[in-house]
């Protein structure tokens, strides 16, 4: 029985799960769930996750509806602890510059902390190599690129970290996950 993943690749935790499973060569069957079409509210999906959220995972009768549990065994999710959770719906285009100001303003202290205190001192967020913390934070910080907003351009250490994360995960896989 193959692992089933219910994902919308517009969603950062979905992309993190997708990249993790592909990078680790875990076989899976993908079930796209388009949030914008309300597919997460349909009865078939509610059998998988009554909480109406993606990502969700089904392995036979075993159901998991939380990306941080789906990736159990990874290190502490410091990305979430640092306040990087953005919410997919805030970043679906088209979004104009005025709409972007408020969420970007809220994010600046977290970006500054990450850039100048965390990543200026070490290459990755939690350990000496890429960990779950990096993957979760990376997929969150990539979200605004969907509306043409590059969060990395003003933060040199974040830009270096992004390049190292992409190189470790593989640029092709990263681009595949962010193709939406």
Ligand X SMILES: N[C@@H](CCC(=O)N[C@@H](CS)C(=O)NCC(=O)O)C(=O)O
Residues that bind ligand X (CB under 6 A): 11-13, 35, 40, 52-55, 66-68, 88
- Are the beta carbons of 119 and 141 closer than 8 angstroms? no
Distances (CA, A) of 114 to 68, 95, 103, 159: 21, 25, 17, 11
Comparing CB distances to ligand X, the nearer of 86 and 155 is 86
Query: Least distance in Å: CB of 116 to ligand X?
Result: 27
Comparing CB distances to ligand X, the nearer of 39 and 166 is 39
Query: Least distance in Å: CB of 33 to ligand X?
Result: 8
Comparing CB distances to ligand X, the nearer of 167 and 180 is 180
Query: Least distance in Å: CB of 173 to ligand X?
Result: 20
Tokens of 177: 């996950």
Comparing CB distances to ligand X, the nearer of 10 and 157 is 10
Q: Residue 148: exposed, middle, or buried by beta-carbon count in 10 A (0-12, 13-18, 19+)?
A: exposed
Residues 6+ apart with CB under 8 A from 50: none
Q: CA-to-CA distance for 22 and 174, rounded, in angstroms?
A: 10
Query: Least distance in Å: CB of 55 to ligand X?
Result: 5
């Amino acid at each position: 029985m193959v692992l089933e993943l219910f994902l919308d690749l517009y969603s950062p935790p979905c992309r993190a799960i997708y990249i993790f499973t592909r990078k680790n060569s875990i076989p899976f069957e993908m079930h796209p769930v388009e949030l914008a079409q309300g597919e997460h509210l349909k009865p078939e999906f509610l059998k998988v996750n009554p909480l109406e959220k993606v990502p969700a995972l089904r392995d036979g009768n075993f159901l998991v509806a939380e990306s941080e549990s789906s990736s159990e065994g990874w290190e502490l999710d410091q990305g979430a602890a640092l306040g990087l959770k953005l919410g997919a719906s805030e970043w679906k285009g088209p979004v104009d510059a005025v709409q972007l100001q408020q969420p970007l303003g809220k994010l600046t202290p977290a970006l500054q902390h990450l850039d100048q205190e965390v990543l200026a001192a070490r290459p990755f967020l939690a350990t000496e190599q890429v960990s779950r913390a990096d993957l979760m934070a990376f997929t969150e910080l990539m979200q605004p690129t969907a509306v043409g907003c590059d969060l990395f351009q003003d933060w040199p250490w974040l830009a270096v970290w992004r390049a190292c994360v992409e190189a470790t995960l593989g640029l092709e896989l990263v681009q595949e996950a962010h193709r939406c």
